[in-house]
Amino acid sequence: MTRASLPLKIAALGGLAFLHIPLLFILLYCFTTEERSYAFPPPGFTLKWFAVVWSRADIWAAIGLSLKVALVATLLALVFGTLAAGALARARFFGREPISLLFVLPIALPGIVTGIALRQAFGLMEIPFSFWTIVIGHATFCIVVVYNNAVARLRRLSPSLIEASMDLGADAFTTFRLVVLPNVGTALLAGGMLAFALSFDEVIVTTFTAGQQSTLPIWMLSELIRPRQRPVTNVVAVLVIIVTFLPILAAYYLTREGEAVAGSGK
């Protein structure tokens, strides 16, 4: 390893600063006394916005809906993503490539296309907007996150472990429970957490599948377009950062420790 030159260091650290400074400003503005503009520097500091958020029923309702949607969408994504990964990790068959493409498509295409397409389909089948229309939209693009995590881990899992288990008399179900599941468990957990964060944060598809319902990102979007008490949005934003950051951090450590899967050295 060589020492980096000074300009490189400055450019690299400057780039990282660029990535983080806007988030710090959001934190700063939680405490401002100015609620009508983004005046800098803030004219004064107060903690009252945290109390305001605490007493606002609309925010709590939005948080509740977002959490419920994220939970159900994650569970659906876990089931479908794991099944897909199990089928595609090792099997070789005609049409495998287009099918893997299909699983990636929901995040490869612009969210607005996915959103309008689903809205059109709901309209065509006369399905009214409900909790479940939001969940269907979210699960569709969460599947790929779980799929990616699970497929990577399944490919590292040595097939000889499964063969050994069967040679020793375990049937397919016991092998799945005692050999496959413990080895892919952390990858599924990590995928599930990323899916949860993705769903909790999603706004583009949700605008088209929510109707009159308000998830937390939808609430934030309306505040961004027509601001009322601006620091309240900041407090909620910081809350969102925390709620999405914790599962992501956990997912990072889960997949990192998972590098040492049994049989991966082969």
Partner 1 sequence: MSLATLDLPARPIGLRGRLSDLLVRRGGLLTLLLLLPPLLWLGLVYLGSLFVFLGQSIFSIDEFSGTIVREPTFATLIELFRPANYDIVLRTVAIATAVTVLCAIIAFPIAYYAARHAGPRAKAAFYLAVMMPLWSSYLVKVYGWKLLLAKEGAIGWFAGRLGLTGALEAWLALPVVGGPSLSVSYTGMVLTFTYLWLPFMILPVQAALERVPGSLIEAAGDLGASPAKVFRTVILPLALPGVVAGAIFTFSLTLGDYIVPQIIGTSALVLGQAVYTLQGTAGNIPLAAAFSLVPILVMAAFLAIARRTGAFDAM
3-state secondary structure of 160: helix
Contacts of 265 (CB under 8 A, 6+ apart): none
| Distance in angstroms (rounded) separating the CA atoms of residues 131 and 92 | 38
Beta bridge partners of 45: 32
The answer to whether residues 82 and 188 touch, using CB atoms and an 8 Å cutoff, is yes
In angstroms, how far is the first alpha carbon of the chain from the final one?
Answer: 29
Residue 252 φ/ψ, nearest 5 degrees? -60, -50
From 77, 72, 64, select the one nearest 195 (Cα to Cα). 77
Alpha helices in 89-158 (DSSP H): 96-108, 111-124, 131-156
Q: How far is the CB of 225 from partner 1 (least distance, A)?
A: 7
